[in-house]
Amino acid sequence: MKSLAFTVAAGCLSAGLALAETPILTVYAPDYFVSEWGPGPRIEELFEARCDCDLQFKPGDLLPRILLEGDRTEADVVIGLNTDVTKKARDSGLFAEHGVDLSPLTLPIDWTDEVFLPFNYGHTAFVYDSTRVDAPPASFDALLEAPDDLRLVIQDPRTSISGLALVLWVQSVYGDKAQDAWEKLAPKIVTVTKGWSESYGLFTDGEADMVLSYTTSPAYHIIAEEDETKKAAIFPEGHYFMVELAARLSTSDQPELAGEFMEFILSEDFQSMIATGNWSIPAALDSAKWPEGFQKLDLPEKVLFYSEDEAADLRGEAIEAWRRALSQ
Amino acid sequence: MAPRALAITAALALAALTLGPVGVVLARAGGFGALGPGDWQALRFTLWQAFLSASVSVVLAVPVAKALARRRFVGRGLLVTLLGAPFILPVIVAVMGLIAVFGQAGLVNRLLGALGGPNLDIYGLHGVVLAHVFFNLPLAVRMLFSAWAAVPAEHFRLAASLGLSPRAQWRVIDAPLILRVLPGAFTVIFVICLTSFAVALTLGGGPRATTVELAIYQAMRFDFDLGRAAALAVMQLVLALAAGLVALRVAGQAGFGAGRDRILSRWDGQGALARGWDAAWIVAAALFLLVPLAAVVLRGLPGLFLITPDTLRAAGHSLMVALGSTALCMAWALPLSTRRGELLALPAIAISPLVLGAGLFLILRNFVNPFDMALPVTGLVNALMALPFALRILRPEAEAVTRDYGRLRASLRMTSLAWLRLVWLPRLRRPMGFAAGLTAALAMGDLGVIALFADPDRATLPLQVYRLMGSYQMEAAAGAALLLLFTSLGLFWLFDRGGRLGAET
Q: What is the value of ipTM here, to two decimals?
A: 0.83
Is B3 within the bounds of a domain?
no
Nearest residue of chain A to residue B202 (CA atoms): A193
Same domain, A220 and A289: no
Q: Is residue B15 within 8 Å of B344, Cβ to Cβ? A: yes
Report the distance separating Cα B443 and Cα B90, nearest Å. Answer: 10
Q: Percentage of residues in chain B with pLDDT exceeding 90?
A: 12
Q: Which residues of B touch A68 (CB under 8 A)?
A: 28, 358, 361-362, 452
Amino acid identity for residue B186 in this structure: F
Interface of B with A in 474-493 (CB under 8 A): 474, 476-477
Position B272 scores a pLDDT of 80
Report the distance separating Cα B288 and Cα B130, nearest Å. Answer: 10
Q: Stretch B236-256: mean pLDDT, rounded?
A: 75
Nearest residue of chain A to residue B96 (CA atoms): A202
Q: Stretch B167-184: mean pLDDT, rounded?
A: 83
CATH number of the domain residue B447 falls in: 1.10.3720.10
Query: Among A53-62, A150-159, B266-275, B334-343, which stretch is predicted with the lowest mean pLDDT?
Result: B266-275
Domain count, chain A: 2
Nearest residue of chain B to residue A41 (CA atoms): B456
Q: Is residue B400 within 8 Å of B255, Cβ to Cβ? A: yes
Q: Which residues of A touch B476 (CB under 8 A)?
A: 37
Position B469 scores a pLDDT of 82
Nearest to B123 among A59, A67, A191 (CB): A191
Highest-pLDDT range among A91-105, B13-27, B110-124, B440-454: A91-105
Is B333 within the bounds of a domain?
yes
Same domain, A264 and A208: no
Position A16 scores a pLDDT of 46
Position A8 scores a pLDDT of 46
CATH number of the domain residue A83 falls in: 3.40.190.10
Q: Which residues of B touch A196 (CB under 8 A)?
A: 470
Same domain, A319 and A189: yes
Same domain, A137 and A232: yes
Report the distance separating Cα B91 and Cα B108, nearest Å. Answer: 21
- HEC string for B417-486: HHHHHHHHHHHCHHHHHHHHHHHHHHHHHCCCCHHHHCCHHHCCHHHHHHHHHHCCCHHHHHHHHHHHHH
Same domain, A174 and A316: yes
More confident call, B342 vs B124 = B124
Report the distance separating Cα B409 and Cα B17, nearest Å. Answer: 35
Nearest residue of chain A to residue B122 (CA atoms): A190
pLDDT one-digit tens code per residue, B320-332: 989 999 999 998 8
Same domain, A133 and A228: yes
Is B200 within the bounds of a domain?
yes
Query: Among A195-209, B19-33, B154-168, B478-492, which stretch is predicted with the lowest mean pLDDT?
Result: B154-168
Same domain, A223 and A200: yes
Same domain, A188 and A76: no
Sign of CA dihedral A260, A264, A266, A268: positive
Domain that holds residue A57: 2-120+243-295
Which residues have CB under 8 Å from B79's CB, separation 6+? B68, B282, B286
Residues of chain A below pLDDT 70: 1-20
Check CB contact under 8 Å for A63 and B224. Answer: yes
Q: Is residue B348 within 8 Å of B385, Cβ to Cβ? A: yes
CA A42 to chain CA centroid, Å, is 18
Same domain, A185 and A144: yes
Is B5 within the bounds of a domain?
no
- Residue B1 pLDDT greater than 50, yes or no: no
Report the distance separating Cα A193 and Cα B280, nearest Å. Answer: 35
Q: How far is B222 from chain A (nearest CA, A)?
A: 7
Domain count, chain B: 1
Q: Where are the beta strands (DSSP E) in A130-218?
A: 152-155, 189-193, 210-214
Q: Is residue A80 within 8 Å of A30, Cβ to Cβ? A: yes
Phi, psi of B389 (to 5 degrees): -65, -45
More confident call, B88 vs A247 = A247
Position B258 scores a pLDDT of 60
Interface of B with A in 218-277 (CB under 8 A): 218, 220-222, 224
Same domain, A191 and A149: yes
Q: Which residues of A touch B106 (CB under 8 A)?
A: 207
Same domain, A49 and A115: yes
pLDDT one-digit tens code per residue, B133-144: 999 999 899 888
pLDDT one-digit tens code per residue, B26-85: 888 887 877 777 788 889 999 999 999 999 999 999 999 989 888 888 888 888 888 878
pTM: 0.85
Q: Stretch B230-249: mean pLDDT, rounded?
A: 84
Report the distance separating Cα B460 and Cα B214, nearest Å. Answer: 23
Same domain, A225 and A314: yes
Domain that holds residue B391: 15-500
Largest Cα–Cα separation, chain A: 68
Report the distance separating Cα B131 and Cα A241, nearest Å. Answer: 36
Helix B374-412 and helix B175-194, axial crossing angle in degrees, nearest 10:
160
Is B9 within the bounds of a domain?
no
Q: Is residue A59 within 8 Å of A34, Cβ to Cβ? A: yes
